[in-house]
């Protein structure tokens, strides 16, 4: 049994008019791939899995990959905090942030830029949980894991809301996966296209009109 929800290539999502979509994006989206409520329920289950796995590990240092990961990170930690309040045992949580950039328009630039993380020495000897929005080819996460490993954490696990099913993948798989999705460019729930669509509640597939409208070129 898979430990993630697989969205099939044949699944084209839900019609936009079945959901509340901001008017300024109505002409820029193909469909709603993952509704906000489904994301919330899946996040709650991932939080439970993480707490069960790390229950006896001591404090957890949660590292959010910005900017796209901030919404998933916030919701995941809220679920973990709720479990901490209502369980016999609880996990102390610390938080930090790092920013990586590898995309320009809908293409990977081939160069991964680390724009944050000056205080990663705090990870030394800690149990680290890296929280990411999406793993595409896996190259970005592999680079981040190499960076983190230099600070000698006690352990490192990765939780990603999405993993893209693509022939460009290097084969990397996170420890915790929310959804495996087709090779489409998705936006919303803090995932962006050139900084647009972060204010969209659902995860949607962008259309060609949206790509053209918000292109940097």
**Of 136, 183, 192, 199, which residue is the catalytic one?**
136
Sheet strand arrangement including 186-187? 29-34, 203-206, 186-187
Structural domains of the chain ordered from first start = 5-213 (3.40.50.2020)
Q: How far is C-alpha 120 from the chain's CA centre? A: 20
**Model pLDDT for residues 118-150, shown as the tens digit of each residue:** 578 888 999 999 999 999 999 889 989 998 999
How large is the angle between the packed helices 36-54 and 70-86, nearest 10 degrees? 60
Q: What pLDDT is stored for residue 102 in this prediction?
A: 63
11 is catalytic: no
CB-based contact 98:116 (threshold 8 Å): yes
**Model pLDDT for residues 104-113, shown as the tens digit of each residue:** 555 555 566 6
Indicate whether 47 pLDDT > 50: yes
Verdict on whether the full-model pTM lies above 0.75: yes
């Amino acid at each position: 049994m898979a430990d993630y929800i697989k969205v099939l290539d044949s699944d084209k999502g839900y019609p936009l008019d079945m959901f509340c979509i901001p008017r300024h994006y109505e002409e820029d989206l193909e469909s709603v791939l993952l509704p906000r409520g489904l994301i919330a329920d899946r996040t709650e289950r991932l939080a439970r899995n993480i707490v069960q796995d790390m229950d006896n590990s001591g404090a957890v240092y949660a590292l959010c990959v910005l900017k796209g990961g901030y919404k998933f990170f916030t919701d995941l930690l809220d679920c973990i905090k709720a479990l901490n309040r209502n369980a016999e045992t609880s996990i102390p949580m610390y938080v930090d942030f790092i920013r990586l950039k590898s995309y320009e328009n809908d293409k990977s630039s081939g160069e991964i830029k680390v724009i944050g993380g000056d205080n990663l020495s705090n990870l030394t000897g800690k149990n680290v949980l890296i929280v990411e929005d999406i793993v595409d080819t896996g190259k970005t996460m592999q680079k981040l894991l190499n960076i983190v490993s230099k600070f000698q954490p006690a352990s490192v696990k990765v939780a990603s809301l999405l993993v893209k099913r693509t022939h460009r993948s290097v084969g990397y798989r996170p420890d915790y996966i929310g959804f495996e999705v087709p090779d489409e460019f998705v936006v919303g729930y803090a995932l962006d296209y050139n900084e647009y669509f972060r204010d969209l509640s659902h995860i949607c597939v962008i259309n060609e009109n949206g790509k053209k409208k918000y292109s940097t070129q």
